[in-house]
Chains A and B, each alone.
Chain A
Amino acid sequence: EDQVTQSPEALRLQEGESSSLNCSYTVSGLRGLFWYRQDPGKGPEFLFTLYSAGEEKEKERLKATLTKKESFLHITAPKPEDSATYLCAFSQGGSEKLVFGKGTKLTVNP
């Protein structure tokens, strides 16, 4: 069964303490791997799309990477405003639908 698993479920960091979030996926014919940020009570906000193993994308303190089995969202020197739930999703060949993981709730303490 095609699925995506995110770990950890929750992560607490001190401001400036770098870390990584993991997204493991099992899918035949991966078409795209997506990262979203979601603040409480709001809609997911698009961050990155990755299409092939070895690809990397960066935005401010965030960098997303992709291998054949997983993706990482690296957070460098996080700030309290980076606190949010980060969602991972994939699409596969023959279907434009996205399959979402349950997310990692990140809290960055000042």
Chain B
Amino acid sequence: DADVTQTPRNRITKTGKRIMLECSQTKGHDRMYWYRQDPGLGLRLIYYSFDVKDINKGEISDGYSVSRQAQAKFSLSLESAIPNQTALYFCATSDPARAPHTDTQYFGPGTRLTVL
């Protein structure tokens, strides 16, 4: 079984709809991240969480919200989806205690979101 899973893997929705993307991990890592990837722009950080009570904005958090339901679960919501949120979305995890690779992040398989 994959260590980091994302659901759904593909989603097509319409402008204005609320969407939730989910991420689960069995790695036992405390830190979780959400990124989006667009052609030509690379990976950009949306939100990150260092534990259940610690949520932080990344560089492009506008239009998104997150929820850390448990150590193993981190959800990303688009409250009112718009077409320019069409992208690949990735969840990642890291473990600060995993010396020496304390910053290394491990990625899920991604969700391809299309907003019409």
Contacts and interface: CB of A to CB of B under 8 A. Distances in A.
A64 B106 CA distance: 19
Q: Which of B40, B94, B105 has the most CB of A within 10 A?
A: B105
Contact of B107 (A45, A49, A103): A45
Interface string B76-107: 00000000000010101010100011111111
B19 to A, nearest CB: 19
Given A44-B107, A45-B107, A46-B106, A51 B100 contact: yes
Nearest to B50: A96
Contacts of B42: 87, 100-103
Contact of B45 (A97, A101, A102): A97
Given A51-B100, A101-B42, A102-B40, A43 B48 contact: no
Interface string A42-73: 11111001010000000000000000000000
Given A41-B110, A101-B42, A46 B103 contact: no
Contacts of B43: 44, 87, 89, 100
**Interface size, B (range):** 20 to 34
A98 B105 contact: yes
Interface residues of A, number: 22
Interface in B53-85: 58
B108 A49 contact: no
Contact of B90 (A43, A101, A102): A43
Contacts of B100: 49, 51
26 contacts: A32-B103, A34-B103, A34-B104, A36-B107, A41-B112, A42-B110, A43-B4, A43-B90, A43-B107, A43-B109, A44-B43, A44-B90, A46-B104, A46-B107, A49-B101, A51-B100, A96-B31, A96-B94, A96-B96, A96-B102, A97-B48, A98-B103, A100-B44, A101-B42, A102-B40, A102-B41
Interface of A: 31-32, 34, 36, 41-46, 49, 51, 87, 89, 91, 96-98, 100-103
